[in-house]
Structure 1
Amino acid sequence: MKILQVSTTAQRFGAGIAAYRLHKGLRSIGADSWMLVNSVSQREDFILSPTNNLGKIMARLYPELDRIPGHISRSPPGVVSSSWVPNRLISRIKAQSADIVNLHWVNGGFMRIEALSKIRHPIVWTLHDMWAFSGGEHYLGESTRYKEGYSVSNRPDLETGLDVNPVARAVGPGASHGGSILYAAAIRIPLFGSL
């Protein structure tokens, strides 16, 4: 069984490190695990990242483009991912012929939410934050806007520009998905020992 771990990064940041550890742990017990990422700290077997110059340039450009709606809403950096940037992730996933696709943190322009309906493999989505159901925000704190609806009265004080969250909610990860997805919360359990 081929398992494809899809994560914006490998070996960096919390979710990227968790995805990498899962990948390494699965490989250590003989599973056919691969990672598909936008960027890596160092090249490694079984980790697929952009290799040609154009791919590397786009890998750096995607996160910058994805931040534009956050700038428009004047959200603090890293608070919102809009996932609006067109890319070729689906063709890269299809090329791997995986039996299971495990999504991790796929923000920063790495995955458009429309991609979910085009993935023809069973999906496990490990939730490293709240983006998958909030529509754009990574951590909501006490906010329940994603459930109550977006209005001026429940808008966070830190956001002062155009409110892009209602649009992100309508077309983003919190919108309906036609297929089945198994969501899994990320928790720390030492299954494979120290990696």
Structure 2
Amino acid sequence: MKILQINTTLNTGSRGKIAEQIGQTVLLNGQDSYIAFSRQGQPSNSIPLKIGTLKDVYQHVLITRIFDTHGFGSKKATRKLVEEIEIIQPDIIHLHNIHGYYLNIEVLFDFIRDKNIPVVWTFHDCWPFTGHCSYFDRFNCEKWKTECFKCPMKSYYPESWFFDNSKDNFLRKKALFNSINNLTIVTPSFWLKDLVGQSFLKEKLVKVIPNGIDLSIFKPVSSGISQKLKIVNFQVILGVASIWDKRKGLDDFIALNNIISAEYKIVLIGLTKKQIKGLPENILGISRTESVYQMAELYSLATAFVNPTYSDNFPTTNIEALACGTPVITYDTGGSPESIDADTGIVVKKGDIGGLKSAIDTIVKNPKRFSIGNCKKRAENHYNKDKTYIKYLQLYKDLLKG
């Protein structure tokens, strides 16, 4: 059995690492694994296939900015990918993020339909069933349920400077994605499954398979990192993101810093050098790291992991923190609350900075309830990659059986 996955990145970022771990599961079970990607590649156990060039990406960005036709550029790059797929002849094509300025969805889906290749598509956001955005809850927009037009998210990713092409994008996606009969959608959260059921893809089979993590890496560890960072005498409040912006709650952390007591130290991972320079003096900012072992040290160091995200599906950072024995505080956003229960975290209303402070205080005052053991056990029971990603392998087999 040959499995070809397609994602924006290779073995980096949450989605790239998910694809990599699924590929490892495929390989461990004696099958062949390929991963096609556009950029930001890290070494992979699967056979990598590079899609296009940086020039192709920039051209796709340009037509998106001008014409709002994200997903309809990169024709040449996608045709070359299709030629490689013809040579490989995969039994299953597994899609992840197909937005990100690197694929032409019409070229790809027309090929898949003509060849009748079974498709598994893991939705990591809402882009597949909207006319523009990847998340619409910023404006509580529900146009995606019927037909997108006059998009309130035009100025947000994938940003368009001039035209609003959301209606045409919506109609083209609806026709294109529904043209694939042998398509199975996977969502990591029940929240997203419910949304798919209200979209133009409601007739498709949807399964829920939560994201998994490597528990041999993400586990409670002791290290000297607190001495190295000079935060030995603090209760550490940790935040992690690959890209920090208002959607991820950077402003909320700064506001939280103004009301928490001096015993707490906010540590934010994944910031740019410019963002680090702009932080208040008593917030520690650290640039992005590809070291999963360092991340495990930082999660283990924290008293609480705070995720004040305003738009999200099922953040992998939540379950990484749990696996390291750290309770999670999250806004009531998307599928983010699904990762915790009453003994492993607290859900706070979006934008409630006082609620974040109160949740932190509650966790500090109740160490037995929000214990390392409870958090670790939840991760072991629900998010062990060896248990979650084997479900994809079984799904592949079921699809090939018809």
1:117 and 2:110 correspond: yes
The verdict on how the C-alpha distance between 1:182 and 1:157 changes in structure 2, with shifts beyond 3 A counting, is closer
One of 65, 68, 73 as aligned partner of 1:84: 73
Higher helix share: 2
Which residues of 2 match residues 9-158 of structure 1 at below 5 A?
Answer: 9-50=9-50, 58-72=52-66, 81-86=70-75, 87=77, 88-114=80-106, 115-119=108-112, 120=115, 121-141=117-137, 142-152=140-150, 155-156=152-153, 158=155
User: 1:2, 1:31 within 8 Å by CA — same for their partners in 2?
Assistant: yes
d(CA) in 1 for partners of 2:163, 2:64: 9
Aligned partner letter, 2:60: D
User: 1:69, 1:164 within 8 Å by CA — same for their partners in 2?
Assistant: no
The verdict on how the C-alpha distance between 1:150 and 1:134 changes in structure 2, with shifts beyond 3 A counting, is closer
The verdict on how the C-alpha distance between 1:49 and 1:146 changes in structure 2, with shifts beyond 3 A counting, is same
d(CA) in 1 for partners of 2:154, 2:96: 29
TM-score, normalised relative to structure 1:
0.77
Alpha-carbon shift at residue 107 of structure 1 (Å): 1.8
Alpha-carbon shift at residue 91 of structure 1 (Å): 1.5
d(CA) in 2 for partners of 1:83, 1:157: 16
The verdict on how the C-alpha distance between 1:136 and 1:3 changes in structure 2, with shifts beyond 3 A counting, is same
d(CA) in 2 for partners of 1:8, 1:156: 22
Partner of 1:174: 174
Structure whose alpha-carbon radius of gyration is higher: 2
d(CA) in 1 for partners of 2:28, 2:154: 47
Aligned partner letter, 1:123: V
Task: State the secondary structure of the residue aligned to 1:124.
Answer: strand
User: 1:62, 1:110 within 8 Å by CA — same for their partners in 2?
Assistant: yes
One of 375, 379, 386 as aligned partner of 1:192: 386
User: 2:97, 2:123 within 8 Å by CA — same for their partners in 1?
Assistant: yes
Alpha-carbon shift at residue 125 of structure 1 (Å): 0.7
Task: State the secondary structure of the residue aligned to 2:5.
Answer: strand
- If asked which structure has higher relative contact order (CA below 8 Å, sep 6+), I would say 1
Partner of 2:163: 162
d(CA) in 2 for partners of 1:18, 1:157: 29
Q: Is the deviation greater in 115-124 or in 29-38?
A: 29-38
Residues 51-70 of structure 1: CA distance to partner in whole angstroms, max 9, x if unpaired?
xxxx7xx4212332222344
The verdict on how the C-alpha distance between 1:3 and 1:158 changes in structure 2, with shifts beyond 3 A counting, is closer
Identity %: 21
RMSD: 2.9
Alpha-carbon shift at residue 102 of structure 1 (Å): 0.5
Task: State the secondary structure of the residue aligned to 2:386.
Answer: coil
User: 2:36, 2:48 within 8 Å by CA — same for their partners in 1?
Assistant: yes
Aligned partner letter, 1:144: E
Alpha-carbon shift at residue 40 of structure 1 (Å): 4.8
d(CA) in 1 for partners of 2:47, 2:9: 10
Task: State the aligned residue count.
Answer: 182
Aligned partner letter, 1:166: K
Residues 71-121 of structure 1: CA distance to partner in whole angstroms, max 9, x if unpaired?
237x9xxxx833322122222222211111111112223321211131121
d(CA) in 1 for partners of 2:23, 2:133: 27
Alpha-carbon shift at residue 132 of structure 1 (Å): 1.5
The verdict on how the C-alpha distance between 1:110 and 1:151 changes in structure 2, with shifts beyond 3 A counting, is closer
Alpha-carbon shift at residue 45 of structure 1 (Å): 5.0
TM-score, normalised relative to structure 2:
0.40
The verdict on how the C-alpha distance between 1:98 and 1:10 changes in structure 2, with shifts beyond 3 A counting, is same
d(CA) in 1 for partners of 2:152, 2:36: 36
The verdict on how the C-alpha distance between 1:192 and 1:47 changes in structure 2, with shifts beyond 3 A counting, is same
